[in-house]
Structure 1
Amino acid sequence: MDQFNIFLIGFMGTGKTTIANCLSRKLDRKVVEMDQIISERAGMSISDIFKTYGEQHFRDLETGILVETQSCMPVIVSCGGGTPMRECNVREMRKNGRIVLLTAKPETILKRVKSNHDRPLLENNKNVAYIKELLEQRREKYEAAADLIIETDEKTADQICEEMLSRLRKDISEH
């Protein structure tokens, strides 16, 4: 498993950051938190980047970080929710990594993100119906990109990490 990066994809609130940190402790790997890096480099919040430069610019910054990960293996990359919507991003992740989709029910996502205000696509739409609609719009691309799909509802971070690592090891031994 030391030969590749692990890319965590999924909708906001599915646990990418939490799971990345858990995997980091278990595998002794660095975490690349895409949204945090973009925000730090821009000197502004994700919401402000969206407002000032638009979503397209933000997505371009995401692609740039994925390209950078090629030279700092092996790492765990916690991707922004929209990262796999771009085909070039999926190709970039596939070059040297396994893509793990974390999923959660809309109700679970709402509970996890309701007090967070740095989610520009959700800020004025924090309700189950809207989350369900956005999830549905992204589901096909998320699933097409994923090497593994892990449900996070009603599980601890440790349970999710153990399930993921055992499935990744099994996947590697079969190929």
Structure 2
Amino acid sequence: MDRQHLFLIGFMGVGKSTVARVLCERLGLPLIETDARIEAAQGMTITELFRRSGEACFRDLETALLQDLSREAPAVVSCGGGIVLRPGNVRRMKESGSILLLTASPEHILRRVSGNTTRPILNGNMNLDHIRALMERRMPAYLAAADLRISTDGKPVAEIVSEILSALSPL
């Protein structure tokens, strides 16, 4: 992998943060969590930011963060689930790195996120039908953005990371 950043995209709950941590160890790169960076900069949680300022404000902050990342040293970047909804964000990511799409079935997603109240897009809609519908709406954007695609369903993290590293070698 000779390009700068490795951006992990995908629906919430696919394992981006967990996989990113292990990838960082294996690649010797720092980890950047877009949501955590935004929370630190804003002094509030993503849930609170959504409640106070709305999703559009949050998406603006994601876009600004991606602009800042283009000036930073190579890193593994675990992105928020909706970051690809803006074509300009995808363009910025492609200009500064490779984009890896992690996928999982709606059933796996529900198991992973049920009971979690830090997912503002799902709060009040923590059910399979809502997750499936939202995933279907976002999938074209995920697929269009991705340089690589890896399923995380039923796989241990070590296996997922090995698949990623094998797939990255030609990039």
Asked whether the two chains share a fold, i.e. TM above 0.5, the reply is: yes
Consecutive aligned runs of 4 or more in structure 1 exceeding 6 Å deviation: none
Deviation at 1:115, TM superposition (A): 2.3
Aligned length: 171
* Counterpart-to-counterpart distance in 1, 2:96 and 2:41: 24
1:68-79 to 2 correspondence within 5 Å? 68-79=68-79
Cα RMSD after superposing both structures: 0.9
Letter in 2 for 1:9: I
* Counterpart-to-counterpart distance in 1, 2:39 and 2:116: 15
* Counterpart-to-counterpart distance in 1, 2:135 and 2:14: 11
* Counterpart-to-counterpart distance in 1, 2:168 and 2:3: 12
Secondary structure at the counterpart of residue 142 of structure 1? helix
* Counterpart-to-counterpart distance in 2, 1:89 and 1:116: 27
* Counterpart-to-counterpart distance in 2, 1:37 and 1:159: 28
Q: Give 5+ residue unaligned stretches, structure 1.
A: none
Q: Give 5+ residue unaligned stretches, structure 2.
A: none
* Counterpart-to-counterpart distance in 1, 2:141 and 2:47: 23
**Mapped contact 2:3–2:98 kept (Cα < 8 A):** no
Deviation at 1:4, TM superposition (A): 1.8
**Mapped contact 1:2–1:74 kept (Cα < 8 A):** no
1:44-123 to 2 correspondence within 5 Å? 44-123=44-123
**Mapped contact 1:14–1:103 kept (Cα < 8 A):** yes
* Counterpart-to-counterpart distance in 2, 1:158 and 1:25: 12
Secondary structure at the counterpart of residue 150 of structure 1? strand
Letter in 2 for 1:107: E
| 2:25 equivalent in structure 1 | 25
Deviation at 1:74, TM superposition (A): 0.9
Identity of aligned residues (%): 47
* Counterpart-to-counterpart distance in 2, 1:67 and 1:76: 16
| 2:126 equivalent in structure 1 | 126
